[in-house]
Structure 1
Amino acid sequence: MEEIYANIGCDKSVNLKASQYQRGPQSSERRFHAAVVLFLGLLSVFLLAGLIGLGVHYHDSIQRSAAQLSTITTNLTECLQASNNFSSLIEERDLLNASLTEMTQELERLQSLVKQTKTCPAGWRMFSHACYFLSNEPGSWDKGREDCRDRGADLVVVNSHEEEIFLTALTKKNVWIGLSDRDEEGTWKWVDGSPLTLTYWPAAQPDNGGGDPQWGEEDCVHIRTEMDTHWNDLSCEASLQWICEKIA
């Protein structure tokens, strides 16, 4: 009997261990499944968060792109309007240029008619738009200027090479012109106040008398027709003829 009970006790022990062995693997499997489920859940959460982030990013990008597109469209519209305005300005400019050309031609025609009708007083010679008078008697530079003013004119002012040639052809004698440096030595000015720009001085002139007392201060200018370079400074008290000039 004891052996039987012993055997029975042995079987109970074996059965208990077998039962424990059977429960062990099942518990591990459940824990594994739980871990897998937890991992998948976390992965789903991360994926969802990533999708939400991407959605927000692309939404902002789309908004920025839309704003940039709107700006580009606005700029293109403004450029088109400016282009249309520019074309209109070009047309107006062309019309103004055409009108200006017509007015210039008409002014030239009227000036030509005026010149044809203008004449100089007796004893005066016309050149270009002015009248010139050669005095009959000699005198000082101041006397010549006074005579010209009495005639409604002044001593001649030379403005061009053509005018200089015309003056030298008027007479073969030395004649006063309206140029002096009486206000400031070495600063030559015409009687109308304009500065000297066109000159016909020969070499070594003007020399203000070269320091020789017999010539004195040479502050006034005359045309010296016997030389190719026509001007010379001379004492304003010297006695020469003069040329007056006035607008025709």
Structure 2
Amino acid sequence: MTSERDQLHAERDELQKIQKKLNYTIQQHLRYFVTKHTRWNEARQECRSKGADLVIINSQEEQEFLSQMFSGEAWIGLSDSAEEGKWMWVDGTKMTTGFWWQGEPNDYEQKEDCAATGSRHAKAKVTTWADYSCETELNAICEMEAK
């Protein structure tokens, strides 16, 4: 009985941790997905027309959440179009946590300044990022602060 009780307590504690992470994610941000394929700037305009912006990803938990919720490649709110190699989020903050696919960002042919999650090269459960030409047409993930 004691070992069963301890096992149930351990399972309960783990479930509470998961619930806390999910509640934080859901309460902090309201997300919706743009399903039509558009260029990065057009995707951002679409998000902004709805009172949102392209998603900013600052934690492993958030990347894991998006990996579970969305399949395929999609624009995120990250680019180095203002200064090559200086990746900035749409809110003007510098990228501090990245989930780049191996060898990315690579600025292939000096034309890749916008980031997408869901790299088709990812083999893990958690998707990775890649840089693409901002003219590539992809889906996008928009984010709006919860009120």
Confirm or deny a common fold (TM above 0.5). Answer: yes
Query: Do the aligned residues in 1 keep the contact of 2:119 with 2:130 (CA within 8 Å)?
Result: no
- Where do 1:1-248 residues align within 5 Å? 127-209=26-108, 211=109, 217-226=111-120, 227=122, 228=124, 230-248=128-146
Query: Do the aligned residues in 2 keep the contact of 1:223 with 1:232 (CA within 8 Å)?
Result: yes
How many pairs align? 119
Over the matched positions of the two proteins, sequence identity in percent amounts to 39
Label 1:237 to 1:204 Cα distance change in 2 as closer, same or farther (>3 A): same
Query: Do the aligned residues in 2 keep the contact of 1:168 with 1:225 (CA within 8 Å)?
Result: no
Task: Give the stretch that moved more between structures: 142-151 or 164-173.
Answer: 164-173
Largest Rg, 1 or 2: 1
**Matched residue type, 1:193:** G
Equivalent residue number for residue 56 of structure 1: none
Higher relative contact order (CA 8 A, sep 6+): 2
Query: Do the aligned residues in 1 keep the contact of 2:101 with 2:119 (CA within 8 Å)?
Result: no
Pairwise CA RMSD of aligned residues?
Answer: 1.6
**Matched residue type, 1:232:** A
Task: Give the stretch that moved more between structures: 165-174 or 188-197.
Answer: 165-174
Query: Do the aligned residues in 1 keep the contact of 2:76 with 2:115 (CA within 8 Å)?
Result: yes
1:202: Cα distance to partner? 2.0
Label 1:160 to 1:128 Cα distance change in 2 as closer, same or farther (>3 A): farther
CA distance in 1, matches of 2:35, 2:84: 30
Secondary structure, counterpart of 2:112 in structure 1: coil
Report the structure, 1 or 2, having the larger helix content: 1
Q: Which runs of 5+ in 1 are unaligned?
A: 1-114, 116-125
TM-score, length-scaled by structure 1: 0.46
Secondary structure, counterpart of 1:135 in structure 2: strand
Q: Which runs of 5+ in 2 are unaligned?
A: 1-22
TM-score, length-scaled by structure 2: 0.76
Secondary structure, counterpart of 1:137 in structure 2: strand
1:166: Cα distance to partner? 1.1
